[in-house]
Amino acid sequence: MKSNRYLLALLLTAAVTAFWFFGRPISTNQMGNSANALTSEILALGPRPPGSVALNQVRSLLSKELVANGWVVELQEFERDTSVGKIKFANLRARFQVKDQDPWQRKIDGLLCAHVDSKLFKDKVFHGADDAASACAALVVIAKHLAIHKPEQAAKLELVFFDGEEAFAENMTTLDGLYGSRHYANTWRTRNDKPKFGILLDMIGHKNLKIRIPTDSPKHLADLMFSIAEKQKVGSHYGIAAGTIMDDHVPLNLIGIPTLDIIGDFSRTRWWHTPGDNADIISADSLNISIGVTLGMLDELLSEK
């Protein structure tokens, strides 16, 4: 009897171990931790308003990470008159390298975007940890994951890190802010091979994550986001804002690329556009959630049907 009990215990232990390793869903936990670490690296370079040395350093950091994982990067440079004078901007674009193909001539199905600049303040130090260093870090981590595990999806995407999202005045207007996304959208305006969708990430890494998408979001993308969030049992973190939101999705929607702004509920935070938007408010768990939902959406949007 003792030997039978011992054998039964071994079998039970093996069954539990097998479930632990093979029965659990794939976790994005490591990706959340990686995104959190990269966010800290970005913040260590200091405030990064357009035209700053720090912003150039951040673009170099992101480029290095992407190139190391098979992505090809390109700077889209342009200059604009602003309320603080002429500013040189640069969007960072990236596409996945496929053998014997020019990635910039290949048709793509989707855009994955974030803004890379932090708002310029004359009277305070603003690092923009969640607005939007965390989103840039999440994009890089997603890009690495796709390159390794789903290169066929990576080949259908373009990553864009927009410069000049923030206004130079206190509040954004139709003329001040969204410099990078407006310039980028104009390059697609008259083309017949526009991407089918865009996903914009902004303020997606804060503790006690609360995502509130704009009321005028493309319905099919909003429905998909909510569906994926429910499937992943994180639906309580996702909702709809009280109104429309001026963000980098707007120029893309206006030229015919339906784009969803997955954005944190900045209207109910004390840290938005303050020095409180620092590394202390960033959570690897929140980044896990945001990365997981984004990957789930990409699985649906980029699947072969």
Chain-wide mean pLDDT for the chain? Answer: 91
For 85, the 3-state DSSP assignment is strand
The distance in angstroms from the start CA to the end CA of the chain is 56
The DSSP string of 29-51 is HHHHHHHHHHHHHHHHT----TT
Can you give the pLDDT at residue 17?
35
Average pLDDT over residues 150-162: 98
Average pLDDT over residues 107-120: 98
Predicted confidence band of residue 10 (pLDDT cuts 50, 70, 90): very low
- Tell me the whole-structure pTM to 2 decimals: 0.90
Whether pLDDT at 15 is above 80: no
Can you give the pLDDT at residue 305?
55
**Residue-wise pLDDT tens digits, 232-291:** 999 999 999 999 999 999 999 999 999 999 999 998 899 999 999 999 999 999 999 999
Predicted confidence band of residue 4 (pLDDT cuts 50, 70, 90): very low
- When mean pLDDT is compared across 100-104, 140-144, 157-161, 220-224, the lowest value belongs to 100-104
Can you give the pLDDT at residue 166?
96
Instruction: For strands 71-82 and 259-263, give the pairing.
Output: unpaired
Does domain 28-301 bear CATH number 3.40.630.10? yes
**Residue-wise pLDDT tens digits, 26-76:** 445 799 999 999 999 999 999 999 999 999 999 999 999 999 999 999 999
**Residue-wise pLDDT tens digits, 166-189:** 999 888 887 889 999 999 999 999
Predicted confidence band of residue 304 (pLDDT cuts 50, 70, 90): low
Cα–Cα distance, 193 to 300 (Å, whole number)? 20
Can you give the pLDDT at residue 28?
53
* 135, 156, 305 from 302: Cα distances, Å: 21, 7, 9
Average pLDDT over residues 141-153: 98
Can you give the pLDDT at residue 173?
80
Higher-confidence position of 291 and 304: 291
* Domain ranges (residues) in the chain: 28-301
Whether pLDDT at 302 is above 90: yes
Can you give the pLDDT at residue 55?
98
Average pLDDT over residues 75-103: 95
Cα–Cα distance, 73 to 94 (Å, whole number)? 4
What are the two backbone dihedrals, phi and then psi, of residue 208, each rounded to the nearest 5 degrees? 50, 55
**Geometric angle at alpha carbon 219, from 302 and 293, rounded to 5°:** 50
Can you give the pLDDT at residue 303?
87
Q: What is the dihedral of CA 90, 162, 95, 60, to 10 degrees?
A: 50
